[in-house]
Amino acid sequence: MGSRRVPNEPFLVSALVPAFNEATRIRTAIESALAQTEPPAEILVIDDGSSDGTAALAASLGARVIVQPNAGIARTRNRLLREAAYPWLAFLDADDVWYPEKLAAVRKAHEVRPEVDFIISDLRCVRAGGAVVSASVFATTPHYRAAPKTRIAPALDFIERSDLGRALAVGNFIGTSTVVARRDRLVERGVFFDETLPADAGTFVAEDVEWYLRVLRTTDALAIARPLGEYRLRAGSLASNYARVRYGDAKLGERVAAHAGAYVEGAATAFGGARRGQLRHAARMYARRYEFKRAAEILREAQRDGTRAGDAAAIAFLTILGRFV
């Protein structure tokens, strides 16, 4: 457990918005922060080398804006952590929105368990145009539902760090724009996003999940079990390119296994148990995209962890199909 904090200390929040060419979307995100029933003390935008007027628009809406040469999402998030001026850091991606009661609900959760320094919440997932993909990510994610948790107030769950880490090893259900954490838990302890993770055409290791697993080494979590915002799914987003994200989950597991002491207890073991399923899932996703050679490669990798009936035939079939595309 972290040290118990004074329940009535000021709950001052920096809203952290990374942005790269988001002029068509960032207005909605910033306005959702401004519309909070308990507004943030600042809205900080790091413009990561945009060429479409993102910085000027954000500044016109009242955000504090810092412009930098393009550096990528991990470096941009780290700049946000370093530049934030207030004790609590609330992430808000430029294409997401918060509901008006978001920060008030987080503040109330903090008052219930002030020693917990990592607070998440449920969210809705919608497509561009507003079609609902999921009305509740928590409700539709089996590994979140299966994670041990204790209801400590209406719609508020306490989750021990190792239980949350094991659940995240199976698959991510934490929207970055739902995360609120204490600045001193991160910056003063040097818990920054890893800027060296693979992100290429074949693999994407999620920098947010990797970071959560290190943050959770020293704090438990609170989960507000109702949607307090929306994740906007659009063409070309990582969520719509799930094959390489799922393959990246297996690669993250390898990294955690190699450096288990840097991550929350139990994560390495959980990744080991999930690895084969992650690889086979990634192979299925690639096959559905008609990338048969890539699917066969990943199934061969899964086979090295132990054979499974039917995989050899599937590899042979995928290899044949790969010759025709």
Decide if pLDDT at 310 tops 80: no
Determine the residue type at 16: L
pLDDT in tens, 112-153: 999 999 999 999 999 877 788 899 999 999 999 999 999 999
pLDDT in tens, 55-101: 999 999 999 999 999 999 999 999 999 999 999 999 999 999 999 99
Phi, psi angle pair for 58, to nearest 5°: -60, -40
The CATH architecture to which 13-236 belongs is Alpha-Beta Complex (3.90)
pLDDT in tens, 183-217: 998 998 999 999 999 877 778 899 999 999 999 99
User: Domain coordinates of the chain in residue numbers?
Assistant: 13-236, 245-322
- pTM confidence score: 0.90
Two structure tokens written together for 107: 């503040």
Decide if pLDDT at 4 tops 50: no
CA angle, residues 65, 100, 137, in degrees to nearest 5: 95
pLDDT for the residue 47: 98
| Burial letters 155-182, b for 16+ CB under 10 A, else e | ebbbbbbbbbbbbbbbbbbbbbbbbbbb
pLDDT for the residue 151: 98
Mean pLDDT of 157-164: 98
| Burial letters 283-316, b for 16+ CB under 10 A, else e | bbbbbeeebbebbbbbbbbbbeeeeeeebeebbe
